[in-house]
Chain A
Amino acid sequence: MFVNRLASSAARCIPKNKETRAAWITSLLLSIGLLLLPHVFKLDGRQHANWQQFLGRFHPLAVHLPIGFLVLLPLLEIGGAFRFALRETAGFVLGLALAACLGSIALGYLLAYGSGDSGAGVTRHMWGGITLSIGVLICVLARPSWSSGEVPHVYPILLTAVLLTLVWTAHQGGSLTHGTDYLTEYMPAPLKRWTKSHVSGVDASNAGSFYARHIHPVFDANCVACHGESKTRGGLRLDSYDWLMKGGKDGAVIVDGDPAKSLLLQRITLPVNDNHYMPAEGKPPLEPEEIAWIRAWIQQGASPSIANLDGISIHEEHVAEPLQPVGDYSALLPEIHQIDGAQGVKIVPVSSKPSDGLILNTVDIAAHFDDAQLAKIQEFAPYIVEADLARTAVTDASFDTLGKFTHLRALDLAGTAVTGAGLTKLAGLTQLTYLNLSGTKVTSAAVAPLGSMKNLHHLYLFNSPAEPASAMNAMQPIARNVQ
């Protein structure tokens, strides 16, 4: 029904007199011209005339004009229902919007064509702009029949579609300028989980290599904004090892074992004011040590898998996985106060943010704190991120209870009577990064299964039968990565 009505009303938009027919033909030709533009002047990743770039760089400025006009338009149309003068203005603004759209497209195309941009993001933004312009063009044609009341639905629907296209296109353009994670970078962690994770050039085949740890992050931070999937200037992509080795329009940028012949290294070591210097456009230069890493890496074969380079030592930090937020315990606080008051333990917040969790601190009554008392606390187990049970009277029987502390990040059992029987019950504690078994009776056989706990980076076995022999020497710290 509705579709039929819409079709018949669309038919009524078809021009009847000579002038409007001329307008339709002009619009049709213009649209075809817009659609053919990318096929005639292909974005081939090569730079073209300087004047094109000069004009093109006004695109990010000019592009705000059509945005402003198009956002104003529906407001004027709605306001026009109450004040007729606004409706007349709307027609004028629509005309301006069309002119501004066409102007922006021209500048934008000059920018991409002139500076040799290509890539998926550039293509999306370009087609968005073209679609938008054609949409505005049709709006211009459809509006008279709407304002005269002949065809009531087509123009509002078209306008809505145009506005949605505008949002999408503007977002594509913004991502090109500021990088794809600009909007999400400081998004609160819970929201972040819903957005797509950042694509990195590191995969299973090269994980842990020097390239993955030190070379790729440099490119990622400094280069892929222009040499990535969404914008591929000069046809060169640096967002993965394969793309890097493939090179750009001017051929390979890395020559194995020969830094001097590697175009990439040449470009980043030119004088800063050289036209060909990279990173271009006033972006911050690479750090001298980063350049040194890249040079050494090329020198020693530019391998994707080599783990360390001769002569390069970099102090590396273990990158902590993002902590899982803990549920809000505020409602349980009276109960928590009651139990810690009764037992003499302290169950205290990590920080004033409830999602940081609670700490169980038993130092005041360590000698009297036993398995039964720990069991009484298990009601709050999911909120406790740190349990300090050092020198308490807990035994192996408590591993059952501790297995329920699902958000536990640190567990200190130093100086207790545990022997390690039941340590496997901690396997479900995926957040556990710190386990202190110093001064206990645990054996190496008992701690062996802990090796499967991926996040357990700090295991302390000092003064226990499980202490590695080499560490008996006081020079050797016991902290080690069990992985």
Chain B
Amino acid sequence: MKQHPFCTDCEQIPQVMDLPIAESVKQQWAELETRRNFLGRSGKVLGWAALASLMGERGLRSEPTATSTTAQHKTSSAGEFKPPPFAPKAKRAIYLFMSGGPPQMDLFDYKPGLPALYNKDLPDSVRGGQQLTGMSSGQARFPIAPSHWQFKRRGKTGTWISELLPYTGQIVDDLTIIKSTNTDAINHEPAIMLMNTGNMNAGKPCLGSWLSYGLGSMNDNLPTFMVLQTKTNPKQNNQPVSSRLWSSGYLSSEYAGVGLRSDGDPVLYLSDPNGVDHVVRRNMLDAVEAINRQTFAELGDPETNSRIAEYEMAFRMQTSVPELVDLSKEPQSTWDLYGPDAREPGTFAHNCLLARRMAERGVRFTQIYKRGWDVHVNVTGILPILCQETDRGCYALVTDLKRRGLLDDTLVVWAGEFGRTVYSQGGLTADNYGRDHHPRCFTSWMAGGGVRAGITYGETDDYCYNVVKDPVPVRDFNATILHCFGFDHNKFTYQSQGLDQKLTGTTPASVVQGLLA
């Protein structure tokens, strides 16, 4: 105990060694505190770094004792393929993220009883004191707005699908439709964070980072986790999508998603600047690496190693990315399938085609963001545009993966961050309405590796307001995805800030067995 310099009434401040914390943490603290230990560690790290550069990374890796002691100092752990605890059904995933919250009752969740309730008030018993957003909390009444569109039975399974999704209707037999997905958040940012990272607060790793961390790369020349943005349509209400959503949080930053831009250079600063050729670039990178290794030896910050790995990856991407985005060799059948939109970079269909090419090249996790689903007003005006932009891409992607034999081990996921209310936000007219955020139920779908094709899972009530059967909260949704990749979500943890952190959080989650093949 020593006295705190600024404290007059409290005589002493607590010391780490006296705190009621685990011995192992105290041990770590003690090690950090000792100058001799710090210097000793630095020396060892420098030694290993030198050895690594002499032997090449693989030389080190084949020596199990060396890897175990240097695991945290290795330059690139993302480059290493790591086996999951049990045999996975899926090797890679393509996540089609419908940012903004698609209206489930206009697309998938058919409610034939609603037209009879047109403009009637949503019963309080159904709403059950549900929190309202700032957008509709001032409304005097909550008039029910039935879907403007007809539904049809599609596929051999006879699944009801809105006429807005004629193409998705053709693949319903391959889909696992989940009508009972539900979330805890009612506003975009917390909801989209929860969906992607399992936590409403920023700073946690997202699903793609967890998978990169757990499985490593299949292809050394491309990032393990890539993010594609769809060009925004100014007519739509585009909620911002930030890099927090593909952040690696407390995991090493090499597991963060790498974004491809929709126009110009797919990756900024990837190509050599004018007047700099490949050899110069290589020499420059070698020199930077040497300096970085020195920094690492001095400070021991693992982020330095991530930086080295990122430079190396960027160098390899100079050849692999142009090949990836070059669609000139795609056969005519591709364009017949994806439609004319796919030729234009930045469209959803184009991104779907890129996602298929990434799947072929062993990218583990591709996430496509499509913004604009936040239809607070003018649903009849905007929703058809949104569907027209995305419907064919979804269909083409699943069909293309299937005909090329990739759907067997690729998991395709389609989801937004929440659903929309059955009652109209703002005025309800005979042919138009708006829909507010709704966390209690929304529809998502999966297809391919590990999930049961051709089923509809979960049910909502007649108002499409509450889940009445087989609810799938976000944490269960994510636990199920991890299961498809061979991970037990309870055992797949990373120690940070004294907690065994996991994607599904601290509320008990479970794998939804009914979704699995």
Say whether A351 contacts B486, CB under 8 Å: yes
B62 surroundings in chain A (CB, below 8 A): 334, 337-338, 341
Q: Mark A366-409, 1 if CB is under 8 A from B, else 0.
A: 00000000000000000000000011000000000000000000
B360 surroundings in chain A (CB, below 8 A): 390-391
Say whether B403 contacts A438, CB under 8 Å: yes
CA gap between A414 and B218 in the complex, in Å: 17
Q: Which of A422-471 contact B (CB under 8 A)?
A: 434, 436, 438-439, 458, 460, 462-463, 471
Q: A317-B452, A364-B219, A474-B337 are in contact. Are A351 and B87 (CB under 8 A)?
A: yes
Say whether B405 contacts A352, CB under 8 Å: no
The majority secondary structure among interface residues of chain B is: loop
A434 surroundings in chain B (CB, below 8 A): 405, 408
Say whether B333 contacts A364, CB under 8 Å: no
A351 surroundings in chain B (CB, below 8 A): 83-88, 486
Q: Which of A337-370 contact B (CB under 8 A)?
A: 337-338, 341, 346, 348-353, 356, 361, 363-364
B58 surroundings in chain A (CB, below 8 A): 337, 341
Chain B interface category by residue count? 35 or more
Say whether B404 contacts A471, CB under 8 Å: no
CA gap between A334 and B63 in the complex, in Å: 8
Does A44 make an interface contact (CB < 8 A)? Answer: no
Say whether B85 contacts A474, CB under 8 Å: no
Q: Which of A305-355 contact B (CB under 8 A)?
A: 313, 315, 317, 334, 337-338, 341, 346, 348-353
Say whether A356 contacts B157, CB under 8 Å: no
Does B362 make an interface contact (CB < 8 A)? Answer: yes
Say whether A478 contacts B403, CB under 8 Å: yes
Say whether A479 contacts B219, CB under 8 Å: no
A412 surroundings in chain B (CB, below 8 A): 405
Q: A317-B452, A356-B87 are in contact. Are A337 and B403 (CB under 8 A)?
A: no
Q: Which of B87, B337, B361, B455 has the most CB of A within 10 A?
A: B87
Say whether B405 contacts A364, CB under 8 Å: no
Q: Mark A28-49, 1 if CB is under 8 A from B, else 0.
A: 0000000000000000000000
With CB as the reference atom, state the residue of chain B lying closest to A391.
B360
CB distance from A364 to the nearest CB of B (A): 5
CA gap between A458 and B517 in the complex, in Å: 16
Does A477 make an interface contact (CB < 8 A)? Answer: yes
B2 surroundings in chain A (CB, below 8 A): none
A460 surroundings in chain B (CB, below 8 A): 403-405
CA gap between A434 and B453 in the complex, in Å: 18
B219 surroundings in chain A (CB, below 8 A): 363-364
Does A1 make an interface contact (CB < 8 A)? Answer: no
CB distance from B486 to the nearest CB of A (A): 6
Say whether A346 contacts B81, CB under 8 Å: yes
A479 surroundings in chain B (CB, below 8 A): 402-403, 405, 407
B61 surroundings in chain A (CB, below 8 A): 337
CA gap between A31 and B287 in the complex, in Å: 97
B253 surroundings in chain A (CB, below 8 A): none
CA gap between A317 and B174 in the complex, in Å: 12
Does A475 make an interface contact (CB < 8 A)? Answer: yes
CB distance from B83 to the nearest CB of A (A): 4
CA gap between A356 and B360 in the complex, in Å: 23
Q: Which of B293-342 contact A (CB under 8 A)?
A: 331, 333, 336-337
Q: Mark B57-99, 1 if CB is under 8 A from A, else 0.
A: 0110110000000000000000001011111100000000000
B85 surroundings in chain A (CB, below 8 A): 351-352
CA gap between A9 and B221 in the complex, in Å: 86
CB distance from A269 to the nearest CB of B (A): 23
CA gap between A149 and B265 in the complex, in Å: 100
Q: Which of A315, A350, A364, A414 has the most CB of B within 10 A?
A: A364
Say whether B399 contacts A348, CB under 8 Å: no
Q: A315-B157, A475-B170 are in contact. Are A364 and B403 (CB under 8 A)?
A: no
Say whether B399 contacts A349, CB under 8 Å: no
Say whether A352 contacts B83, CB under 8 Å: yes
CA gap between A416 and B87 in the complex, in Å: 27
B235 surroundings in chain A (CB, below 8 A): none
Q: Mark B388-415, 1 if CB is under 8 A from A, else 0.
A: 0000000000010011110110000000
Say whether B331 contacts A474, CB under 8 Å: no
Q: Which of B218, B336, B337, B453 has the most CB of A within 10 A?
A: B218
With CB as the reference atom, state the residue of chain B lying closest to A462.
B403
A363 surroundings in chain B (CB, below 8 A): 218-219, 361-362
A341 surroundings in chain B (CB, below 8 A): 58-59, 62
B218 surroundings in chain A (CB, below 8 A): 346, 361, 363
Q: A353-B87, A436-B405, A475-B170 are in contact. Are A317 and B517 (CB under 8 A)?
A: yes
CB distance from A474 to the nearest CB of B (A): 5
B399 surroundings in chain A (CB, below 8 A): 474-475, 477
Q: List 21 A-B contacts (CB under 8 A).
A: A313-B158, A315-B454, A315-B455, A317-B452, A341-B59, A341-B62, A350-B87, A350-B88, A351-B84, A353-B86, A391-B360, A434-B405, A436-B405, A439-B404, A458-B408, A460-B404, A460-B405, A462-B404, A462-B405, A475-B170, A478-B402
Interface residues of B (CB under 8 A from A): 58-59, 61-62, 81, 83-88, 156-158, 170, 174, 218-221, 331, 333, 336-337, 360-362, 399, 402-405, 407-408, 452-455, 486, 517
Q: Which 5 A-B pairs have the closest CB atoms?
A: A460-B405, A337-B62, A341-B58, A349-B83, A436-B405
- Besides A353-B86, A353-B87, A412-B405, 14 more A-B contacts (Cβ < 8 Å) are A315-B453, A317-B452, A317-B517, A337-B62, A349-B83, A351-B85, A363-B361, A414-B404, A436-B404, A474-B333, A474-B403, A477-B399, A479-B402, A479-B407
